[in-house]
Amino acid sequence: MKRKLLGILLCIALLSTVLVGCQKENTGNDTNNPTPTKTQTGDGDTTSDKPVDIYMFISSPEYADAINTLIAAYKEVKPNVTINYETTQNDYPTLLKAKINSGEMPDIFSSTSGKEIGVYLDYSKDLSDQPLADAMSDPVKEVMKANGDEVHGLSIKGNFFGLVYNKAAFEKAGIAAFPQTTAELKTACEKLKTAGYTPFTTGYAEWWVYKHVFQHFLNAAQPDDVAGLVNSFIQGKAKIKDYPALYNDFFNYIDLTVQYGDKKPLETDLSAEIAAFGSGQAAIMNGQGAWVEADILKLDPEIQIGFDGYPVNDDATATKVISGSDQALRVNKDSKVLDEVLAFLNWWYTSDYGKSWFSDVAGVIPPIKDATTPDYEIIKQGTLHVEQEGSGALAVVYSTDSFHQAFGEIMQAYIAGTISKDEACTQIETKWVELEAQ
């Protein structure tokens, strides 16, 4: 996206918004005692031993503890480098644009992969000549590219998206297998309710939950060309009403989860979902994926986790999990400490500790080649699903987080009953054009 369009977006950013993320202080940790080294950057310069501050502002607070552990490990490698780390999820796109507009551009920032790589292209460094680019797995690298083969991002993780469920709850309710159609899903909800469970915990306080759900229905609406469908909406050529998977099935699913879900769905955030599911109160976790398992196991190490796709209609073959890397970390090309930023990120992707961090500390699907994956059920079952049935398209990368946030807020208004389904559809179509068209 050209600087002119981004300038328009920056002008409407809420400069006075108070950051509600979390800023954590680095603490000591068990880090396999990395050996201090001087790191060569892609520009041919070496880093120095002078005190350096790196400002890292990213989304994905669910990885805050793991990233703080990573930062503490790097502190042992480079004691002179201090990484000031802030993270937030709510309103991240607006907050980032406000920081850029006010001259507080982070050295490391984040965005959605795919289309949003272009939004911040004028601000991000091409990383294609860096060791981290060579270490990156090919599918991850592909959604980080712009201007041909330029690589403008790196990832914390790969992902699987689907429905997380409690196998023991399903067994107790007399449900032999996870539902593959919408009719089976409703029957399962009734049985779970009768057995004393809240069928769904929804997470509808979080705007990003809706994009995770919606992409499964986009896959069902036009499975052979999901990117083309999204582009048609962006160009103002498509209408939600013309696609039953979106106009009927998606909204029916939202209604079903509200009916059989949390008492206050619009107050249920990620932590509330984890608490409800990990305590055994709720049987199905909505809008989440591989990133929640570690926190669930902290609440119940013996929980029997299942993972499957969304039943989007009455065609069981449409029930697929989605895999891919949906988030990108970016490097400010004009950073005053660019060499040190590149040294840190290259160490992350290529050092022995950095490569092991993905599985051993963060518990995520590594976005790099030749790395072991963590022994988590969601990852194992997700991998098996993809091998046997294929993966749905990672539709979240075809739109930017500015749109996704607006989409989530529209859906929250729909759930609150302040707008109708038709009004929600009109507003979604309008935002697609307003925020995405170039």
Query: pLDDT class for 438, splitting at 50, 70, 90?
Result: low
Is residue 207 in some structural domain?
yes
CA distance 285 to 46: 47
Token pair for residue 91? 């309103």
299 and 358 inside one domain: no
Residues 226, 240 within the same domain:
yes
Nearest to 55 by CA among 331, 355, 349: 331
**191 has pLDDT over 80:** yes
Which residues in 407-418 are b (16+ Cβ under 10 Å) and which e? bbebbbbbbeee
Statement to judge: residues 101 and 182 lie in one domain: no
Residues 9 and 148 in one domain: yes
pLDDT band at 34 (very low <50, low <70, confident <90, very high): very low
Per-residue pLDDT for 80 more than 80? yes
Do both 341 and 234 map to the same domain?
no
DSSP state of 15: T
For 246, the domain range is: 163-320+383-436
pLDDT category, 18, cuts 50, 70, 90?
Answer: very low
pLDDT value, residue 77: 96
For the record, the structure tokens of 336 come out as 């005053």
- Total domains, the chain: 2
Please check the confidence at residue 200 and state whether its pLDDT lies above 50: yes
* Closest by CA position to 156, among listed 396, 345, 377: 345
Residue 375 lies in a domain: no
Same domain, 72 and 201: no
> Both 250 and 346 in a single domain?
no
* CA-wise closest residue to 199 among 297, 311, 322: 311
**Residue 59 structure tokens:** 């989304």
- Angstrom distance (rounded) from CA 140 to CA 327: 10
Residues 209-222 have pLDDT tens digits of 999 999 999 999 99
Does residue 373 form part of some domain? Answer: no
Give the pair of three-digit tokens for residue 27: 């603490």
DSSP state of 247: I
Would you say 192 and 170 are in contact if contact means Cβ atoms under 8 Å apart? yes
| Rounded mean pLDDT, 63-91 | 93
In a domain, 378, yes or no: no
191 and 144 in a common domain: no
State yes or no: pLDDT of 22 exceeds 50: no
Question: Locate tokens 């050092």: which residue?
Answer: 351
Strand order in the sheet with 108-112: 22-23, 81-87, 52-58, 108-112, 327-331
Token duo for residue 39: 């790191």
Residue 78 in any domain: the answer is yes
Asked if residue 45 and residue 150 are part of one domain, the reply reads yes
Strands (E) across 121-197 are located at 145-146, 150-151, 159-161, 163-166
Tell the burial category of 350 from Cβ atoms under 10 Å away from its Cβ (0-12, 13-18, 19+).
middle
**pLDDT number for residue 90:** 72
Average pLDDT over the chain, rounded to an integer: 89
Please indicate, yes or no, if residue 352 is contained in any of the structural domains: yes
Q: Each residue of 403-422: pLDDT tens digit?
A: 999 999 999 999 999 999 99
Q: What confidence category does residue 437 fall into, taking pLDDT thresholds of 50, 70 and 90?
A: confident
245-259: buried (b, 16+ CB within 10 Å) or exposed (e) per residue?
Answer: bbbbbbbbbbebbbe
Residues 198 and 125 in one domain: no
pLDDT for 100-150, tens place per residue?
999 999 999 999 899 999 999 999 999 999 999 999 999 899 999 999 999
For residue 245, the SS3 value is helix
**H helix or E strand, kind and range, residue 188:** helix 182-194
pLDDT per residue as tens digits for the range 372-405:
888 899 999 999 999 999 999 999 999 998 899 9
Looking at the fold, whether 95 and 232 belong to one and the same domain comes out as: no
pTM value? 0.80
Q: Are residues 245 and 111 in the same domain?
A: no
Tracing tokens 């050209």 back to the chain, one arrives at 2
The enclosing domain of 294 has a CATH number of: 3.40.190.10
Q: Which of 370, 369, 355, 386 is nearest to 161 (CA)?
A: 386
Q: Is 374 a member of any domain?
A: no
The confidence band for 46, taking pLDDT boundaries of 50, 70 and 90, is low
Is 350 a member of any domain?
yes
